[in-house]
């Protein structure tokens, strides 16, 4: 299974992206807002990959 550290790291990256997006929106900086959204997307992709790995490991473990 994915380590807890990796899971926490991707959650932290997602949270940082949300902060950047919010700051960009508040300051009217579209580039910062876009970077924040991109960072969130990257974090969510990592989380999906980790879930897939976990599911595959559980499936193999069950055999």
- How high is the pLDDT of residue 3? 75
- How high is the pLDDT of residue 48? 95
Low-confidence ranges of the chain (pLDDT < 70): 1-2, 63
DSSP string of the chain, one letter each residue: ---HHHHHHHHHHHHHHHHHHHHHHHHT-HHHHHHHHHHHHHHHHHHHHHHHHHHHHHHHHH-
- How high is the pLDDT of residue 4? 83
- How high is the pLDDT of residue 63? 58
- How high is the pLDDT of residue 5? 87
pTM (2 decimals)?
A: 0.83
């Amino acid at each position: 299974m994915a380590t807890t550290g990796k899971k926490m790291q991707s959650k932290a990256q997602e949270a940082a992206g949300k902060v950047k997006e919010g700051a960009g929106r508040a300051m009217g900086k579209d580039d910062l807002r876009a970077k924040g959204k991109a960072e969130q997307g990257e974090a969510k992709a990592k989380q999906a990959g980790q879930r897939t790995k976990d599911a595959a490991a559980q499936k193999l473990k069950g055999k």
